[in-house]
Amino acid sequence: MASITLNGIRKTFGATVALDGIALDVKDGEFFVLLGPSGAGKTTTLRVIAGLEQPELGTVAMDGEDATALPPALRDCSFVFQQYSLYPHLSVYDNMAFPLRAPMRRVAEDEIARRIARVAATLHIESKLERKPTQLSGGEMQRVAIGRALVRKPRVFLMDEPLSSLDAKLREELRVELKRVQKENGATVIYVTHDQVEATTLADRIAILEEGRILQVGTPQEIYAAPGSLHVAQRLGSPQVNVLPAGWFKGQYPTAVANVAIRPEDVEVEPQGEAFECTVVESSLLKHHVICEYAGVEVRARFNRDTAPAPQSRIRLRFPPQHRLLFDGAGRRVAA
């Protein structure tokens, strides 16, 4: 396996800046997740690492050695594309065996059979090995694409939203399996997703991307507890973090503070003492969260009781000072 270092990567497509000075240091054996919305530059970052795109500026290093000019075949990356990219004329078995039969990395047929059997069992596609991709569902084709990567032992696995076309149950199951396989093999994985659940479940560390720039890098716990900007705070958390006007807390903060954010689980419902009285807009007993409105702003909170507050009822909320996150008008974090 390998460590990956990106230093000042800039990549443009015409007038569009896809990557703007990207710098990353992925450790050997780390499960590293790139999290961000569509167009943030996540897939382009993977393609630069794989050598499928050449940056205008910056360098790519693998295990400390400059790999910027290396062709893709010599970088030894295993890439799982979002759009399957299977060979339609080959069976599932032969699609998975294809990278193991390449002249540069030829593996004995009995070893190929063992690896495919193991990975097919993990992905629940043992019964599909003789079929052609055209005979599979979208979810099955995606599992074959993942399997084709997992049978190899590359320097790094690059995965571009590999679970996006799977149903919720299988997605959850494969998240567990991917993490288990990665830990057992000590593999270096760089994984792209826009799904915060995937990111926080799988990642050793996360990089939050937006418009070709990295906003913050850290463990899921670090980013959740100490976001460096309002945008980052809104990237993690379900229900999403509450963003309240600083004017609600008159005299408590300097004029530089424009917004006060607080996680729904930190909001106190029906507390003792002074509180904000809000109107219930929506409540869910199953999820134990409630959406209220105060002064035209929706506020989300978790409650711990056996009955959900009724819509249009009035409840009281308190926002404990020790859990508040402060941000200025540009969304930058302000020290409490």
Tens of pLDDT along 42-87?
Answer: 999 999 999 999 999 999 999 999 999 999 989 989 998 877 789 9
The Cα 75–Cα 79 span in angstroms is 11
Q: What is the mean pLDDT of residues 29-47?
A: 95
The Cα 192–Cα 37 span in angstroms is 10
What separation, in Å, do the N-terminal and C-terminal C-alpha atoms of the chain show? 42
Q: What is the mean pLDDT of residues 309-324?
A: 93
Instruction: Give the model's pLDDT for residue 83.
Output: 78
- DSSP H helices, the chain, are 42-50, 72-75, 92-97, 109-123, 138-150, 168-185, 196-202, 220-225, 230-235
Q: What is the mean pLDDT of residues 168-187?
A: 84
Find, among 3, 7, 11, the residue nearest to 44 by Cα: 11
pLDDT bucket at 219, cuts 50 / 70 / 90: very high
Q: Which amino acid is at 207?
A: A
Could you tell me the fold of the domain covering 4-228?
Rossmann fold (3.40.50)
Mean of all residue pLDDT scores within the chain: 92
* Domain map (residue ranges) of the chain: 4-228, 238-334
Looking only at the bridges linking them, the beta strands covering 268-269 and 314-318 are antiparallel
DSSP structural state of residue 241: P
